[in-house]
Amino acid sequence: MTTKYTQLPLSTSILRIIAYCILSLMSVTAQGQDLIVSHQGDSIHCKIMEVKSDHIRYAYVEDDKVVKAFIPLSRVVLYQPNFYSYSEIENLLAVQQQEFQEEIIREFKQAEERKQKKGSPHSTFLLSGGWSQRLAELKNRNYDEETLAYGRALQSGWNFGTDIQFPVSHRNGFGLKYSAFYSQHADDFVTYSPPGGTPTTANLKSTVWIHYFAPTFNGTIPNADSTRAVMLGFGLGFLQYTEKAEVNPPIKASGNHFGFSLDLGYDFGLQNVSAPFIRFSFFIGNILSAKIVQGSNTVSGRLRIPENLSRIDVSVGMRFSDKK
């Protein structure tokens, strides 16, 4: 810096002498931050950005922020670049950089914690039960309306079942499914008209069971905070049908075939070890042949009209998991 010597007031000269003494004492130290000394005796620790003919632009740290300002040259006694061995601005930027890195690490840890909070893949066990409605429409010219009405009463019933699911990821997995349909109906003085047979009036009570066993593929779609989830499932397995009629002698009809299942449900507590859920299930299948036993007589063969076992289940249940 070039200094012009002019006639200055005594106070200004003393300030300049003191400033130059300080510069001389600090010259042996490492440089880093600049110094501006004003006529008012203020020492401004800063980083000089630009020196113009009438002012100096500089930056300094205030309240942990970098502030830019300027000072007229007429108010400056002297200025010295790299006067200090450290820079508050560079230190602040270094601290901010470190805080930024720490924030990234913190967000990463929080993401990992949320991931852990969601729960690592774990096996689940579901118990459910509810109402069922078979979809087959009973119309047959060989039966009178009273017999068909009795059959329609057996179309509605109850369901219960269990699922065991094993995950392959946080959202998908495979499992095993068992579901049962149960319906029972009784009526007094029913006129039973078998095909080609003689109408008979009797007290009749029938019980229908449909069992379904299948391996399944399952998935979940969690909400934004992973506290609840939509449940999906698809199965392909084995349907077994049994119907018993308490007449004299009793009649038992049975048959089996392949079947499909589709599940759509909602889990109300995804992060909990146990939680309630609701589910709608759709079963598709029929039996093509049957075996009928009455007393010592047994008849089996292919059905002229397949027995439609398709149904809709509406169920509620509880999910249990081995999540720690």
Looking at the structure, do residues 142 and 273 belong to the same domain, yes or no?
Answer: yes
- Per residue in 60-69, pLDDT tens? 888 878 888 9
Looking at the structure, do residues 256 and 153 belong to the same domain, yes or no?
Answer: yes
Mean pLDDT of the chain: 82
CATH number of the domain within which 232 lies: 2.40.160.20
pLDDT at 27 over 50: no
Mean per-residue pLDDT for 168-177? Answer: 91
Looking at the structure, do residues 278 and 147 belong to the same domain, yes or no?
Answer: yes
pLDDT of residue 5: 36
Looking at the domain assignment, is residue 267 inside a domain?
A: yes
Looking at the structure, do residues 16 and 140 belong to the same domain, yes or no?
Answer: no
pLDDT of residue 216: 97
Looking at the structure, do residues 31 and 73 belong to the same domain, yes or no?
Answer: yes
Looking at the structure, do residues 184 and 235 belong to the same domain, yes or no?
Answer: yes
Question: Residue 72: which pLDDT band, with cuts at 50, 70 and 90?
Answer: very high
Question: Residue 29: which pLDDT band, with cuts at 50, 70 and 90?
Answer: very low
pLDDT at 320 over 90: yes
Looking at the domain assignment, is residue 205 inside a domain?
A: yes
- What whole-number distance in Å separates Cα of residue 96 and Cα of residue 99? 5
pLDDT of residue 141: 56
pLDDT of residue 13: 56
Q: Residue 44 sits in which domain range? A: 10-91
How many domains are there within the chain? Answer: 2
Looking at the structure, do residues 224 and 79 belong to the same domain, yes or no?
Answer: no
Looking at the domain assignment, is residue 235 inside a domain?
A: yes
Looking at the structure, do residues 269 and 137 belong to the same domain, yes or no?
Answer: yes
CATH number of the domain within which 14 lies: 2.30.30.100
Looking at the structure, do residues 23 and 81 belong to the same domain, yes or no?
Answer: yes
Mean per-residue pLDDT for 178-185? Answer: 95
Last residue of a domain, one of 45, 71, 91: 91
Question: Residue 158: which pLDDT band, with cuts at 50, 70 and 90?
Answer: very high
Mean per-residue pLDDT for 184-210? Answer: 74
Looking at the domain assignment, is residue 109 inside a domain?
A: no
- What whole-number distance in Å separates Cα of residue 82 and Cα of residue 70? 18
Looking at the domain assignment, is residue 107 inside a domain?
A: no
pLDDT of residue 89: 74
Give the percent of the chain with pLDDT over 70.
81
Q: Which of 7-16, 73-82, 142-151, 209-218 has the lowest mean pLDDT?
A: 7-16
Selected residue with higher pLDDT from 14 and 179 = 179
Looking at the domain assignment, is residue 294 inside a domain?
A: yes
Looking at the structure, do residues 170 and 254 belong to the same domain, yes or no?
Answer: yes
Looking at the domain assignment, is residue 187 inside a domain?
A: yes
Looking at the structure, do residues 262 and 140 belong to the same domain, yes or no?
Answer: yes
Looking at the structure, do residues 133 and 44 belong to the same domain, yes or no?
Answer: no
166 and 123 in contact (C-beta within 8 Å)?
yes
3-state secondary structure the chain: CCCCCCCCCHHHHHHHHHHHHHHHHHCCCCCCEEEEEECCCCEEEEEEEEECCCEEEEEEEECCEEEEEEEEHHHEEEEEEEEECCCHHHHHHHHHHHHHHHHHHHHHHHHHHHHHHHCCCCCEEEEEEEEEEECCCCCCCCCCHHHHHHHHHCCEEEEEEEEEEEECCCCEEEEEEEEEEEEEEEEEEEEECCCCCCCEEEEEEEEEEEEEEEEEEEEEEECCCCCCEEEEEEEEEEEEEEEEECCCCCEEEEEEEEEEEEEEEEECCCCCCEEEEEEEEEEEEEEEEEEEEECCEEEEEEEEEEEECCEEEEEEEEEEECCC
Q: Name which of 310, 307, 305 is nearest 141 in CA terms.
A: 305
Looking at the domain assignment, is residue 97 inside a domain?
A: no
